[in-house]
Structure 1
Amino acid sequence: MVTAEGPTFVELARQALSSVEHGYDLLAPKFDRTPFRTPDAILDAVARQVQAMGVFDSGLDLCCGTGAGMGVLRQACRERITGVDVSAGMLAVGRRAVPETADGPHVAWVRADARALPFGPVFDLAVSFGAFGHFLPWEWPGLFAQVHAVLRPGGCFVFPIAAPARPGSSSYLAVLAFDAAMRVRNLLWRPPFVMYYRSFRLAPVRDELTRAGFTVHLRDLPELGRRPDGSPCFRLVVAACD
């Protein structure tokens, strides 16, 4: 995480002691050189699945950050794509990283809270990558209702979700330690920085999506690996807006 090109330990500490919005403003110039950016392998796997679903007119990247997911939308949408994020710093980096091209969809960037989206039902596809840890479980109903409200009938909300790490594994212990450190930090310091990796689990997420009015389907992403029991390490959640 602390590399020659990435953020220094001091910069990471300053970000961790800030609010979510200001923390990402601080991290934005070096965010793409941290492990927090969604890996290209995940983006490519999702892009292949989305393209197989057909061609969409308009797409929304929810909590777009520096725009990694905008590349997925650019391949799938023919008219316009929009990235929305609460961090002005992340959006500024995204504008430079994902410029509009003459032969591609119109690209827009909007600063807004995902829990209060400033759109009507104008999108056919919504995607999101790596952002759900910023929302506590009690916020999911409102968040998913917002996404449902900005999708046209027949639109889809698509995102990858990882299988839980095996208890006792190095990944499990690392995530457990991170979430525990974050809880202690938020007990001792204000403003809070909400980011919990273990809370976003498939079964309760699927239930909340269904309650929000979506019909939920799952697609395996086998190219991202399999667990010892043969199940995929990642699945794609496809929530259809009827």
Structure 2
Amino acid sequence: MFSSQGPSLRELAGQALTSVERGYDLLAPRFDHTPFRTPDRFLDAVGAALAPLGPFGDGLDVCCGTGAGVRALGPLCRASVTGVDFSAGMLARAREAHRAERPAPRWVRADARALPFDAAFDLAVSFGAFGHFLPAERPALFAGVRRALRPGGLFAFPIGAPPPLTSPWYWAFAGFDTAMRVRNAVRRPPFVMYYRTFPLEGVRQDLIRAGFGVETRPLAEFGRRPDGSPRCRLVLARRE
């Protein structure tokens, strides 16, 4: 599926019937050959938007997966880059893929809802992982990121505008989320992956409650919707 090097539909289905952690352990060797890996276009756009706000000292990629975020963090951070993920398989792939990076990234296995860091970073980013967190889990996630940042530290991530009702993507995302809710109602452990549980306004309020000052900036590379609003924004949450 997706390419000759990517997983088959049968493999994806089998992974979705396990837990999130086990599913990504299984998917890790082929993950970079799927559309689930954040495209370089997004990584480069975020890196370019953050560059005028830096340079930064130490950087953290939250839910780093196979380490794609190093592409954005590496040029921005002068001291160190750390990736954190709860999948041992994804971290093993990240170590292999980025062993030549200098300075060498550090890879830490941990649950993003309980990050093991205290005032250790100046910049934290995350790409494409927030569908794995239920709305009720966002406060713990954001509190952990805030704790990991030094005072004045920045948490940055892109967030896309929801597709309009007339878009085929609206119905594709709605159908996927419905299928996942049915799957999780009848099978344990759950596999949490939803496309429509991370709306900008709810996220903004949760960040503010966690102790961040929040602003957003349009990522101009992705254009605007017919109503003039950005198709994609960069959320900038600064630890106050």
TM-score range, shorter chain: over 0.9
- Looking at structure 2, the residues matched to 200 and 231 of structure 1 have their Cα atoms a distance apart, in angstroms, of 18
Is this contact kept in 2: 1:87–1:111, CA < 8 A? yes
- Looking at structure 1, the residues matched to 42 and 230 of structure 2 have their Cα atoms a distance apart, in angstroms, of 13
- Looking at structure 1, the residues matched to 98 and 90 of structure 2 have their Cα atoms a distance apart, in angstroms, of 12
SS at match of 2:217: strand
1:211 to 209, 213, 217: 209
Shift of 1:71: 1.4
Shift of 1:142: 0.9
The equivalences for 1:30-179 within 5 A come to: 30-101=30-101, 104-179=102-177
Give 4+ residue runs of structure 1 displaced > 3 Å after superposition.
none
Provide the aligned C-alpha RMSD in A.
1.0
* Residue identity in the other structure for 1:240: R
* Residue identity in the other structure for 2:120: V
- Looking at structure 2, the residues matched to 232 and 18 of structure 1 have their Cα atoms a distance apart, in angstroms, of 36
Shift of 1:168: 2.6
- Looking at structure 2, the residues matched to 54 and 88 of structure 1 have their Cα atoms a distance apart, in angstroms, of 31
Shift of 1:105: 3.0
- Looking at structure 2, the residues matched to 98 and 2 of structure 1 have their Cα atoms a distance apart, in angstroms, of 23
SS at match of 2:75: helix
- Looking at structure 1, the residues matched to 2 and 43 of structure 2 have their Cα atoms a distance apart, in angstroms, of 24
Q: Does 1:20 align with 2:54?
A: no
TM-score (norm 2): 0.98
* Residue identity in the other structure for 2:51: Q
* Residue identity in the other structure for 2:143: A
Shift of 1:99: 2.0
The C-alpha deviation readout for 1:75-118, integer Å capped at 9, x for no partner, is 100111100000000001111111244xx334100000001111
SS at match of 2:116: coil
Is this contact kept in 1: 2:2–2:33, CA < 8 A? no
Q: Does 1:230 align with 2:222?
A: no
2:181 to 180, 183, 190: 183
The C-alpha deviation readout for 1:121-159, integer Å capped at 9, x for no partner, is 110000000001100001111110000001001100000
- Looking at structure 2, the residues matched to 100 and 86 of structure 1 have their Cα atoms a distance apart, in angstroms, of 23
Is this contact kept in 2: 1:121–1:152, CA < 8 A? yes
* Residue identity in the other structure for 1:27: L
Is this contact kept in 2: 1:114–1:143, CA < 8 A? yes
State the match for 2:219 in structure 1.
221
TM-score (norm 1): 0.97
Is this contact kept in 1: 2:44–2:71, CA < 8 A? no
Q: Could you tell me the percent identity over the aligned residues?
A: 62
* Residue identity in the other structure for 2:36: F
